Amino acid sequence: MSSVKPHHSRRTILFITAVVAMGGLLFGYDTGVISGSQLYFTEFFGLTTGEQGWAVSSAIYGCLFGALASGYLTKQISRKYTLLLSALLFIVSAWGSGMANSLLELSVYRIIGGLGVGMASMAAPMYIAEISPPKERGQMVSFYQLAVVIGFFVVFLATYFIGNGSVNFVASFNENDLHIWNVEQGWRIMFWSELIPAGLFFVLLFFVPHTPRWLVLKKRTEQARNVLSLITSNAEEARLELEDIKLSFSETPKHHKVTLASKGIAFILFLGIMLSIFQQTTGINAILYYGAEIFSNALGYGPEDALKQQLWTAGVNLAFTFIAIFSIDRWGRKPLLLTGIAGMFLGLSILALTIYSRQMGVISLLAILLFIGSFAMSMGPVVWVLLSEIFPNTIRSIAMSIAVAAQWLFNAIVANSFPVVNGSQLNNEAFNGVLPYLIFASFCLITFVFVWRLVPETKGKTLEELEALWTGENVFHEADEIEPDS
């Protein structure tokens, strides 16, 4: 009987992780659908560059407030119910965005969807981290990022089919007719296509439990014990883990309850916020949100051809995420980050060189793919893993919500500013169109130094063991000396 139990618990963890990670799929899908549709609704509504930036980034401001709200919601109503609420918001947003007849209506529904994305982006990795075995936590939380990029890939397939492949259903369409149809109707169907994964996410969430750490927080110890019995190998392991969790929430002469003001926590919060900021300022979402426009304008592709090129970016994003999944618990978080950031810098530098010299083409496309692949194996999954594991149990909700909110704030800043900077006179006359890519490359260099000097290695330790490390003596100075169990 005991030989069967580990396999049973692993299947349970994989099922729960797959369901919860669908929050990431919706995150990726929502990001991808705006990339594929914005060329068309921008023309439909006759938007200026500033209005286009707002239409794209409005959802991100919803994400910012959703992330902040999730700090309260995940603690009060649970990680699970916060995800259920986010699923409902996804459904409302997908339907309303496709029905919009003005920029105002579109923005309102995009903000509603952003609230759902913000909640899911914080609650899903937290949930997965809290039910994962320590030695596999990096891989499990990376499934969230895998779901994000699957969402990108699926939506790019959908938008390509709707915006280009749909011509198979209307054989009489020529290229001009197809473009007119996309401007009038295609972008609406792109938004409505999100209803399918959003509805599935909502239904499946009813089949996952609350996390044991939230149950202990709410003093529902017996329920926590039952959940742990499902996700651990044996009763003794479940008992020991439950005792560790209970201790982390207690306040005794030997254990002081951790708060935001506790020793060592300021550094960890600073670390989480800066990793979130760097994840955005290195440029990934500018490339993803405006990928079709970059391919269309900078690289000379037509709008429908640009959608086809985005399938390459989505495919590379997906493939390189698997590298992170299978190596993060072997190589560690830090080596993956440093390797990926170096690749991101190289990709941006080559792209800038080809645009500046007006030699756009296959090399430019390969440079973008190098950048995206490098991000997919590093700053994408690893940052989410670190954010989900570095904060102690008692403050995980509030601390992670602050860090994730910072991520969405800078996501919005980048999304809003990219079309303005890219279309500016300074960029076109003084920098020959490469200024935004030079800015992103500069942030890659800063991020590399930050990670090299300050980010600790966290693989292989329980969440409670990490808490003891952060609140120990000289946390800041000894950060680089934290090593995994051998």
Rounded Cα distance, 409 and 429, in Å = 30
**Cα dihedral 194/141/316/114 (nearest 10):** 30
Domain ranges of the chain: 5-208+250-481
- The mean pLDDT value for 367-389 works out to 92
**pLDDT surpassing 80 at residue 486:** no
Taking only the tens place, the pLDDT of each residue in 36-64 is 788 789 889 988 877 877 887 788 889 88
Taking each helix axis from N to C end, the angle separating 103-131 and 5-20, rounded to the nearest 10 degrees, works out to: 160
- The mean pLDDT value for 283-295 works out to 73
Beta bridge partners of 252: 255
Predicted confidence band of residue 329 (pLDDT cuts 50, 70, 90): confident
CATH superfamily of 5-208+250-481: MFS general substrate transporter like domains (1.20.1250.20)
Predicted confidence band of residue 303 (pLDDT cuts 50, 70, 90): low
Q: Are 217 and 75 in contact (CB under 8 A)?
A: yes
**Distance between start and end Cα atoms, the chain:** 30
Lowest mean pLDDT of 43-57, 62-76, 165-179, 400-414, name the range. 165-179
Lowest mean pLDDT of 27-31, 49-53, 401-405, name the range. 49-53
**Among the listed residues 199, 354, 333, 316, the one whose alpha carbon sits nearest the alpha carbon of residue 275:** 333
- The mean pLDDT value for 231-245 works out to 85
Percent share of the chain, pLDDT over 90 = 36
pLDDT, residue 485, reads 37
- The mean pLDDT value for 292-314 works out to 62
Rounded Cα distance, 32 and 415, in Å = 13
Percent share of the chain, pLDDT over 70 = 84
* Look-up of token digits 């909700």: 397
Taking only the tens place, the pLDDT of each residue in 82-106 is 999 999 999 999 999 999 999 999 9
Rounded Cα distance, 211 and 219, in Å = 12
**Among the listed residues 368, 349, 346, the one whose alpha carbon sits nearest the alpha carbon of residue 299:** 368
Rounded Cα distance, 446 and 377, in Å = 19
Q: What is the pTM of this model?
A: 0.77
Positive or negative, the CA dihedral 426, 428, 429, 431 is positive
CA count, 13 A, side-chain hemisphere, 70: 36
pLDDT, residue 260, reads 64
